[in-house]
Amino acid sequence: MAKLTRRGVVAAGLALGAGSAASAARPAAGGIVLAADETYWAGIAAQYDLASDVVQLENGNWGVMARPVLAAYERHQAMVNRRNSFYSRREHGSDLTRIRARVAASLGVEPDEIAFTRGATEALQALIGGYNRLRAGDQVLTADLDYDSMQSAMAWLKDRRGADLVRVSLPEPATREGLIEAYAMALDAHPRVKLMLLTQVSHRNGLRLPVGEITALARARGVDVILDSAHAWGQVDTQLRALGADFVGLNGHKWIGAPIGVGVLYIARSRIADIDPFMGSDDHAAGDVRLRVHTGTANMAAYLALEDALDFHEAIGTPAKAARLTYLRRRWTEPLRGVAGVQVLSPPDDQIGSALGAFRLTGRATPADNVELARVLLERFGIFTVARHGLASGSCVRATVSLFTRPAEADRLSQALLELSRT
């Protein structure tokens, strides 16, 4: 399959400015596409087919496929269905080998360091459950920003390995330096910690950790890191070697825009033996990373469409996507900073922000308060968001922009919250 370049995106139907790759890019300082170039981004948004009955600001659950990716997925599904087991037993392996190399290149690692899963949750559960360097009396560390099922898996290591759980609450409001210091203090206060979970971009409030710095301080203390990059790949830089984590779980169906059911497990080649084979599986060699997870018969067409999703993603580029998503998130967060009655949980520092943002009405931090706030935003203002719970400071509502979000839709959220803050 031919790779979809930026010029190929134009040919596929995106109305990118004047219609050429060079004029469409219009690089700003640093060489990225100007985040506020509405002509360019209207062309991107036109490649998504969405219901128009609500303002869709709950894009953290999973990522809508762009039209070319959806069309490719449907073609792949028809082909798999038509060729049946002949394809699955004799041809799918070579296709998967090609796609595995493509994904590895995107992540800056080697193909033999990754295995496909059905999502980041499956990948991370395999890593946490399989990590075999813990001994009774060791400790493992999680934070309040970590995903619920990952925290549960870390707590389960008490039964699995005899390891005790340490929970920490990250500072709020967050700063880059404060986050690094919080992890340093936690590790210094708990010298028996041998394994810690880090979440690159939190599903609760969108906080983006300075992962490289935190993994470096963990490594200096002899602590291994399992990195949850479910919300990172496709919206922020996710070159795994630079991040310094030897064990990572990722999603292809969030910010890369592949079909639901595509995930990736990464283990640094030198660390594969530190993750046990999955329940004694023996369908690969002992040192093969693919032995560390077993998915059974997965959605073959979804993995084939991952290649198409990468084409679409790379034709835009992570720097341009990150700039646009930051611009859209700031459209609603910044007008609310300092407003009495509204608490914006997303940091003003874009280095630790993302497309996901969170807020609550001042003094209303219970789960019921924020479920109700999300309901009011939907029923009164037509804005779809989602309540999130589990932060040490209380519950909140999360709003997540995407590439198809229009600035006016982000503005509508800030205007709604301004109105609600006065009541």
pLDDT at res. 33? 54
22: in domain: yes
Closest CA to 163 of 226, 229, 87, 73: 226
Q: Contact, 66 vs 84, CB < 8 A?
A: no
Tell me the C-alpha distance between 26 and 261, whole Å. 35
203: in domain: yes
408: in domain: yes
Residue with tokens 């934070």: 143
126: in domain: yes
My answer on whether 209 and 358 are in the same domain is no
Residue with tokens 């084939």: 304
Residue with tokens 């659950």: 61
185: in domain: yes
Tell me the C-alpha distance between 168 and 143, whole Å. 5
Q: The domain spanning residue 414 has which CATH number?
A: 3.90.1150.10
Domain of residue 165 covers 74-310
Note the pTM of the prediction, 2 decimals.
0.91
My answer on whether 85 and 186 are in the same domain is yes
My answer on whether 174 and 225 are in the same domain is yes
pLDDT at res. 61? 96
pLDDT at res. 34? 83
pLDDT at res. 285? 78
My answer on whether 206 and 240 are in the same domain is yes
My answer on whether 191 and 217 are in the same domain is yes
Residue 145 main-chain phi, psi, to 5 deg? -80, -10
302: in domain: yes
Q: The domain spanning residue 133 has which CATH number?
A: 3.40.640.10
My answer on whether 340 and 300 are in the same domain is no
My answer on whether 328 and 292 are in the same domain is no
204: in domain: yes
My answer on whether 171 and 142 are in the same domain is yes
My answer on whether 23 and 124 are in the same domain is no
pLDDT at res. 145? 96
My answer on whether 328 and 296 are in the same domain is no
Count of domains observed in the chain: 3
Would you give the distance in Å from CA 80 to the centre of its chain?
Answer: 28
Each residue's pLDDT expressed in tens, for the chain with a length of 423 residues:
445 454 445 344 443 333 322 233 333 333 355 899 999 999 999 999 998 899 999 999 999 999 999 999 999 999 999 999 999 999 999 999 999 999 999 999 999 999 999 999 999 999 999 999 999 999 999 999 999 999 999 999 999 999 999 999 999 999 999 999 999 999 999 999 999 999 999 999 999 999 999 999 999 999 999 999 999 999 999 999 999 999 999 999 999 999 999 999 999 999 999 999 988 667 777 788 999 998 889 999 999 999 999 999 999 999 999 999 999 999 999 999 999 999 999 999 999 999 999 999 999 999 999 999 999 999 999 999 999 999 999 999 999 999 999 999 999 999 999 999 998
Residue with tokens 């804005």: 383
List beta partners, residue 388: 396
227: in domain: yes
> Beta strand 139-143 with 164-168: parallel, antiparallel or unpaired?
parallel
My answer on whether 306 and 329 are in the same domain is no
My answer on whether 209 and 91 are in the same domain is yes
